[in-house]
Amino acid sequence: MEDKENPPSLDFQNTQIAYAHKTDQELKETSRLFTLMNKPSLVGIGSNLGLTAIKLQFPLIQRLIKNTIFKQFVGGTNLLDCQKTIDHLYQNKTLTILDYGAESKSEEADLDHVRDETVRAIQLAASNNSVPAVSTKITGLAKNELLEKLNKDEQLNSAEEHEFQKLYQRLNAICEEAYNLKVSIFIDAEESWMQIAMDRLVNEMMAQYNKDKVTVWNTFQLYRKDKLDFLKECHQNAMDQGYMLGAKLVRGAYMDKESLRAEQEGYPNPIQDTKDDSDRDFNLAIGYCVTHYETIGSCCASHNAESNLLQARLIAENQYDRRHPHLNFCQLYGMSDNITFNLAQAGYNVAKYVPYGPVKEVIPYLIRRAKENSSVTGDMSRELSFILTEMKRRGLK
């Protein structure tokens, strides 16, 4: 039981706690990898090499990827392979959210495969105390073209109508299995030109499966100008219809793509005008969800120290139960260990998003991880500086 009078304190600068799960050797390997990823030109070459290796099926390069960047950011090639990662995280008081790495599929057989893989992950989660949730992407369950058409409310032809029925059935099968097995299902947010259609579907699933417990969680991208209002509107609708809202809060991953498309097609950019605006709405969303935690299950999915501290502070100041299932934090596997393991040590519900899948399936995910922050101001240099501090503390350099 948590001691509410003397809750454990929280310090994201504490590298001893952050890297207690890594041996000296592992820490050195991680530092070498992050040093390489800190070089944008190398990341560019590495990304092209990775894609070529996959196309040409070069076993040597695939092995190199598997022993370096894959090992850092991915839980394993299949579910069974992830168990070691899941157990290791749990030994360090951290939960796992499983995420099958397939993206942008279009063949019916591939879309069915993503459904089956997600259902299998839910079944594994149900038999595993340390896996409260599984994550999925709607673009893994339907063609992008169909989602774009639905987004614009365009008339579907009969083949598309059939595809829509299949999408609905796949998503419903996943949510139903999650509900029956008492596992949460997190649905990612994606590009704005498909998101209206996705939100509609996820709201329908929430209305069906979130009456007695939050099973289905939508994702709200606060880098969008309209999403704080939309969060409140979804909460109000949930209240009116007698179900609870599941809200994973993110800033958002597709900023450049969004701005480019808005400019090319001449519509207003949906992305906030400045980073400060994104930060303001993200933090307001945290405040809103924590305040309404009895009817909103929320998850602060972020590597931003201030936002994570804000949620932790709100929970502590209001003396809410740090272990309440509606109050959660989550970071990507292999990143921001200073946030995850310090939150875990202080008794908060924290999980790592653990992607898994064959090397060829997770390559686009790995390239995003390496590219998104290979600049000096990005996450990678933040990561590297924490790792170097810990190496110094251990006398390793």
Ligand X SMILES: Cc1cc2nc3c(=O)[nH]c(=O)nc-3n(C[C@H](O)[C@H](O)[C@H](O)COP(=O)(O)OP(=O)(O)OC[C@H]3O[C@@H](n4cnc5c(N)ncnc54)[C@H](O)[C@@H]3O)c2cc1C
Whole-number Å distance between alpha carbons of 300 and 339: 12
How would DSSP label each residue in 329-387? Answer: EEEETTS-HHHHHHHHHTT--EEEEEEE--HHHHHHHHHHHHHHT-STTSHHHHHHHHH
Tell me if 122 sits within 8 A of 134, measured CB to CB.
yes
264: buried, middle or exposed (CB in 10 Å: 19+, 13-18, 0-12)? exposed
Whole-number Å distance between alpha carbons of 342 and 337: 8
Nearer residue to ligand X within complex by CB, 244 or 255: 255
Nearer residue to ligand X within complex by CB, 54 or 354: 354
Helix 305-317, helix 275-291: angle, nearest 10: 20
Whole-number Å distance between alpha carbons of 178 and 174: 6
Shortest Å distance, C-beta 364 to ligand X: 14
Nearer residue to ligand X within complex by CB, 331 or 374: 331
Shortest Å distance, C-beta 93 to ligand X: 17
Identify the CA nearest to 366 among candidates 116, 61, 119, 94: 61
SS3 73: helix
Shortest Å distance, C-beta 250 to ligand X: 4
Shortest Å distance, C-beta 302 to ligand X: 3
**CA distance to 106, 169, 249, per residue, from 112 (Å):** 10, 10, 28
Nearer residue to ligand X within complex by CB, 107 or 273: 273
Shortest Å distance, C-beta 251 to ligand X: 3
**CA distance to 39, 63, 201, per residue, from 42 (Å):** 5, 18, 41
Nearer residue to ligand X within complex by CB, 151 or 331: 331
Nearer residue to ligand X within complex by CB, 153 or 273: 273
Tell me if 334 sits within 8 A of 373, measured CB to CB.
no
Shortest Å distance, C-beta 316 to ligand X: 21
Token duo for residue 268: 């207003």
Q: 174: how many CB neighbours lie within 10 A of its CB?
A: 24
Shortest Å distance, C-beta 330 to ligand X: 4
Which residues are at the interface with ligand X (CB under 6 A)?
188-189, 219, 221, 223, 250-255, 271-272, 274-275, 278, 301-304, 330-332, 353
Nearer residue to ligand X within complex by CB, 124 or 380: 380
Shortest Å distance, C-beta 62 to ligand X: 26
Nearer residue to ligand X within complex by CB, 281 or 390: 281
